[in-house]
Structure 1
Amino acid sequence: MKELKEFTIPFVGLKLGEHHLDFEITKSFFEHFEYDEFNDANINLDVLLDKKTTLLEFTLNFDGFVNVQCDITNEPFDQAVDGTYHFVVKFGEEFNDENEDLLILPHGSFEVNIQQYVYESIVLAMPSRKIHPGIEDGTLQSDILEKLEELSPKIAGNETKSEGDATDPRWDSLKKLLTDK
């Protein structure tokens, strides 16, 4: 996958210590990864790079919203998303990104691309079920909700009791065995 240049951070000229970088994440960022579950996105990303003599520590803090479809009604709504992700970049013989919290770059590297970590941390911060807030508080009016209410099973108190009391007569004689002691 092609790397986005704005997420490539050259660290070779930076002094030791903390450095802050700010990014604006939009829908085009997710389109680059061919991720189409977001209708729109507006996320602020604050990257804290702590450069040390032998390693780099990254802390990604993000907050904002993504516009998604409700899993129940398919109505679009803005889902708040926020989170923090921390990972370490060390230097070694060859590139290795098998560990999710540790990235190993070859000696002599002068820049690191963090786009994959940004993408994964935001997507994994999303809830597994996306439910419109209007469903939870009862204010959403939708054709789908009306149809679900219409088709939901109705429980009548009298019908369920009469079915529960009526038993097969063949079992009645067996029930007598339980009481004959």
Structure 2
Amino acid sequence: MKKDPQYDLAIAKLAIKTHHFAFELGPDFFAQFDQSLIQDGHLHADVDLTKTELLLTLDFHITGTIRLICDRSLDEFDQPIDVQHQLLVRFGDREIELDDDVLQITPDTQVLPIAQHLFDYIGLAIPMKKLHPRFQNEPDENPEADAKLIFTTKASDDDDEESTDPRWDALRNLN
């Protein structure tokens, strides 16, 4: 990933209150990342950063469209995106990612880069099955495919007496 300081938040000089940041994410933003998932898009990201003495809370709201390729027809189409996500950043003795939504940074950290977080949140909003809008209202070819029961561990009441192993019956009687 190429580092673009445009998506860095200078947190050291911020007062203890809520701050608002706005970013326009276009083709230049997606070109920073070595990936083939998203090549183009036009999104607007609002980031509300609430700073306290012990914690930074970043609330992301990303809206717009990204350009995807349909899995069925290989046609390009615009996929609407509307993402709301929260990232917590706490202060500690070293920089570490504690969880997907929790980071720890040192108190002397001057800048918090958020470009990777913006990209990850957009990537999580992409549907698993990328279908052009003209295919989205079509019924599935095999609607029972999702409804099939493949495995069950409970035997029916009728088969319970016939299929019981006598060794298990002996063990049950030990109590």
Q: Would you call these one fold, judging by a TM-score over 0.5?
A: yes
The match for 1:125 is: 125
Q: Which has the higher helix share?
A: 1
Q: Which stretch shows the higher mean deviation, 121-130 or 2-11?
A: 2-11
Which runs of 5 or more residues in structure 1 are unaligned?
A: 139-151, 153-181
Superposition TM-score, scaled by structure 2 size: 0.74
TM-score (norm 1): 0.71
Mean CA deviation greater in 77-86 or 106-115: 106-115
Q: What is the match of residue 92 of structure 2?
A: 92
Matched, 1:67 2:67: yes
Instruction: Give me the whole-angstrom Cα distance separating, in 1, the residues matched to 2:128 and 2:121.
Output: 14
The amino acid of 1:78's aligned partner reads: D
Structure 1 match to 2:173: none
Structure 2 counterparts to residues 45-56 of structure 1, below 5 A: 45-56=45-56
Residue number in structure 2 paired with 1:83 = 83
Q: Residue by residue, what CA displacement relative to the aligned partner does 1:24-46 show, whole Å, maximum 9, x if unpaired? A: 11122222111223342001000
Aligned residues between the structures: 139
For residue 3 of structure 1, report the CA deviation from its aligned partner. 2.6
**Whole-Å separation in 2 of the counterparts to 1:14 and 1:53:** 11
CA distance in 2, matches of 1:15, 1:72: 51
Equivalent residues of 1:27, 1:38 under 8 A apart: no
1:20 matched to 2:54? The reply is no
Contact 2:12 2:108 in 1 (8 A): no
The residue aligned with 2:41 is 41
SS at match of 2:65: strand
Name structure 2 gaps, 5 residues minimum.
142-175
* Contact map agreement 1:30 1:36 (CA 8 A) in 2: no
The residue that corresponds to 1:141 in the other structure is none
Task: Please name the residue that 1:135 is paired with.
Answer: 135
Cα-Cα RMSD:
1.7
Bigger-Rg structure (1/2) = 1
Q: 1:136 to 1:89 in 2, by over 3 A?
A: closer
